[in-house]
Amino acid sequence: MVMPLDGIKVVDLTRLAPGPFCTMVMGDMGAEVIRVEEPRRSSQLAEEGGNAGIADAGDQRRAAAFNALNRNKRSIALDLKRTQAQEALKRLCQDADVFVEGFRPGVVQRLGCDYDTLSAANPRLVYCSISGYGQDGPYRDLVGHDINYLSIGGALGLIGEENGPPAIPYNIIADYAAGGLQAVVGIMGALLAREKMGRGQYVDIAMTDGVAYMLAAVASDFFRTGIVPRPGAMPLNGGAPYYNTYRCKDGKYLSIGCIEPGFWENLCRALGTEEFIPHQHEQERYPEIFDRFRRIFRTYTRDEWWETLRRAGDVAVGPVYSLDEVFQDPQIRHREMSQEVGQVDGEPVRQVGVGPKLSQTAARVRRTGPMSGEHTQEVLRELGYSQDQIADIVQPGHSE
**Residue tagged active-site, from 114, 145, 204, 329:** 145
C-alpha span between 131 and 104 (Å, rounded): 6
The C-alpha atoms of residue 259 and residue 37 are separated, in whole angstroms, by 48
Q: Which of 28, 97, 146, 175 is catalytic?
A: 175
CA 286 – CA 282 distance, rounded (Å): 7
CB burial string 67-84: b at 16+ within 10 A, e below: bbbbbbbbbbbbebeeeb
Helix (H) or strand (E) holding 253: strand 253-257
DSSP annotation of 204: E
Is there a catalytic annotation at residue 398?
no
Nearest to 258 by CA among 273, 248, 249, 250: 273
Which element (helix H / strand E) includes 331? Answer: helix 330-334
Which H/E stretch holds residue 26? helix 18-28
Tally of residues, the chain? 400
Residue 100 makes CB contacts below 8 A (sequence gap 6+) with: 10, 11, 12, 13, 14, 19, 22, 23, 128, 130, 183, 187
> What gap in Å lies between CA 374 and CA 352, rounded to an integer?
23
How many CA within 13 A on the CB side of residue 26?
Answer: 32
The helix/strand count (H/E) of the chain reads as 17, 11
Distances (CA, A) of 50 to 44, 60, 148, 194: 12, 11, 24, 40
How far does the chain reach from its first CA to its final CA, in angstroms?
32
Q: Can 145 be counted among the known catalytic residues? A: yes
Spatial distance between the Cα atoms of 236 and 233, rounded to a whole number of angstroms: 8
Residues with catalytic roles: 145, 175
